[in-house]
Amino acid sequence: MAQNIIVNLIPNKNFTSEHILTKKDLTFDQQHIWHPYTSAINPLPCYEVTGAEGVYIHLATGEKLVDGVSSWWTAIHGYNHPKLNQAVKSQVDEFSHVMFGGLTHKPAIDLCRTLVDITPQGLDRVFLADSGSVSVEVAMKMALQYWACQGNSRKHRFISPRNGYHGDTFAAMSVCDPINGMHSLFSDVLTQQIFSPAPQTRFDKQWNEDDIKPLEQLIQAHHNELAALIIEPIVQNAGGMRIYHPEYLKRCRQLCNDYDILLICDEIATGFGRTGKLFACEHADVSPDILCLGKALTGGYMTLAATLCSEDVAQGVCQGEPGVFMHGPTFMGNALACSVANASLKIIQQNDWQTQVFQIERQLRAELERCIHLEVVADVRVIGAIGVVECKSALNVAELQKAFVQQGVWIRPFGKLVYIMPPYIINPKQLSQLTQAIYDALK
């Protein structure tokens, strides 16, 4: 029976009793609710949330935590944002959802128009999906159907660098790192893809030409069966928070051109300014054939994702039988999600997000650098509004998270990594609270 530990010691007097979990609630959660990446035998603690605003998460026990991970990299504008709230309220009074098959509406049209305008050049078709993993499934399915409709069904495999992570659904799992990608248990049932060594040249170091050779050799050997190369641009996120040289991505684009392979860029985590560019592809000045977006798309309010592709791919997918793209999520183009996404993108376009991210990056570099001198730390790396401290051995996540809560911050480590991806609206004092907490906890 699933069992989760709910940390709920002293009720916060600022909240009424209706906001606090009862003993019955706690028992139900412990016995029936499975939280992400949690063991049913030895679960990680869960902390009860009673509210959130700005960069803060409020706990029932009274703590006010600076959120260092933007709720898994989504809440870039912070919580309880008045413009995002209003977008949801206004749309719900008109209609919340209608099927997207045979019907359309302004929130979806406005969103797709904006995405075509702001994404790298040449991505002219938009497929709206439910979540990041689904957008990857859609991208892979597009690539496979594209080649099948060109009469080349032999091109049915994918190549990807190791240390990549693209989601937890089945096709997405098959292109995650087969050993370190959290899915090795399913290796016997997943489609066998091709993996090249992970890029090694760091973002801020001199490019090493040898870095691209293993990928080039694999593509030379297997290009006749490769539908696409799928890669996270510049930052390999959940596979290790690794930041690599833009030249590697440029060479990926060139290899795909040379060997007639589609390039899929997974910007679910890096899109919408996180790396200091609106899209991480811009660091290398490349445009993929297919682009996956999600996470921050709605500012953390609702689940929504998008898969964009070039006109060539869109036309190719629909040549011959069956003549249509064979995918259609039930909640595709959900009006509530599209409306809040439109509001989020307007905030990005109206705010000086580049200055916000640059200031975060500069402060992260200055304040996290001292962690490298700690005995337990192996590496420190920063790009845009992403700060990573890699330790020499695996961390006790429950113990470390408890220490962070005691210091008034919400940081969720994994493996050997303590990382922060704060909301863009964070101020210097709040950001220093995060970096100091990391230093103190690891010290």
**pLDDT for 275-293, tens place per residue?**
999 999 999 999 999 999 9
Angle, helices 428-442 vs 397-406, to 10°: value is 140
For residues 173 and 341, the model is more confident at 341
- pLDDT for 189 equals 83
- pLDDT for 182 equals 62
- pLDDT for 98 equals 97
The answer to whether the CB of 378 falls within 8 A of the CB of 390 is: yes
For residues 178 and 420, the model is more confident at 420
- The catalytically annotated residue of 56, 79, 146, 165 is 165
Mean pLDDT computed over 403-421: 96
Place of tokens 């509004």: 385
3-class DSSP assignment, residue 262: strand
- The catalytically annotated residue of 295, 301, 419, 424 is 295
- pLDDT for 297 equals 98
Mean pLDDT computed over 2-7: 39
For the domain 5-80+352-442, what is the CATH code? 3.90.1150.10
DSSP per position, 99-111:
-SSS---HHHHHH
Mark whether 165 is an active-site residue. yes
Chain centroid to Cα 382, Å, comes to: 17
359: left (phi over 0), alpha (psi -120 to 50) or beta: alpha
Taking alpha carbons only, the member of 82, 84, 45, 133 closest to residue 410 is 45
User: Residue 72 pLDDT more than 90?
Assistant: yes
pLDDT digits (tens, 9 = 90+) for 116-161: 999 999 999 999 999 999 999 999 999 999 999 999 999 999 999 9
In this predicted structure, which of 26-30, 94-98, 341-345 has the lowest mean pLDDT? 26-30
User: Residue 3 pLDDT more than 80?
Assistant: no
Start-to-end Cα distance in the chain: 37
Place of tokens 């899929």: 264
The one-letter amino acid at 408: G
Place of tokens 């080039």: 216
Q: CB-side exposure of 69: number of CA atoms within 13 Å?
A: 17
Q: Give the DSSP H/E element, type plus range, for residue 391.
A: strand 386-391
CA 19, CA 195: separation in Å to the nearest integer? 48
Mark whether 47 is an active-site residue. no
Environment class of 118 (CB within 10 Å of its CB; exposed 0-12, middle 13-18, buried 19+): middle
Alpha helices per DSSP H over 16-127: 23-32, 70-73, 82-94, 106-118
Taking alpha carbons only, the member of 74, 27, 82, 65 closest to residue 272 is 74
CA 79, CA 70: separation in Å to the nearest integer? 9
Tokens coding 141: 């399915």
Chain centroid to Cα 423, Å, comes to: 14
Contact residues for 42 (Cβ-Cβ < 8 A; gap 6+): none
- pLDDT for 9 equals 37
Domain ranges of the chain: 5-80+352-442, 84-350
CA 249, CA 246: separation in Å to the nearest integer? 5
The arrangement of secondary structure in 84-350, i.e. its CATH architecture, is: 3-Layer(aba) Sandwich (3.40)
- pLDDT for 12 equals 42
pLDDT category at 6 given cuts 50, 70, 90 is very low
Mean pLDDT computed over 233-260: 97
Peptide bond into 329 cis (omega under 30): no
Cα distances (angstroms) measured from residue 290 to each of 111, 268, 310: 17, 12, 7
Question: Is the alpha carbon torsion for 364, 369, 374, 375 positive or negative?
Answer: positive
- The catalytically annotated residue of 25, 37, 205, 285 is 37
- pLDDT for 29 equals 84
CA 93, CA 309: separation in Å to the nearest integer? 33
- pLDDT for 26 equals 76
Mark whether 295 is an active-site residue. yes
Taking alpha carbons only, the member of 120, 160, 323 closest to residue 255 is 160
Mean pLDDT computed over 238-252: 96
For residues 151 and 351, the model is more confident at 151
- pLDDT for 178 equals 85
CA 439, CA 300: separation in Å to the nearest integer? 28
User: Residue 361 pLDDT more than 90?
Assistant: yes
The answer to whether the CB of 353 falls within 8 A of the CB of 425 is: no
- pLDDT for 345 equals 97
* In the chain, % of residues over pLDDT 70: 95
DSSP state of 202: B
- pLDDT for 321 equals 82
Mean pLDDT computed over 43-66: 92
Average pLDDT, the chain: 92
For residues 165 and 8, the model is more confident at 165
The answer to whether the CB of 20 falls within 8 A of the CB of 59 is: no
CA 301, CA 299: separation in Å to the nearest integer? 6
Taking alpha carbons only, the member of 401, 296, 350, 400 closest to residue 70 is 296
Mean pLDDT computed over 185-189: 79
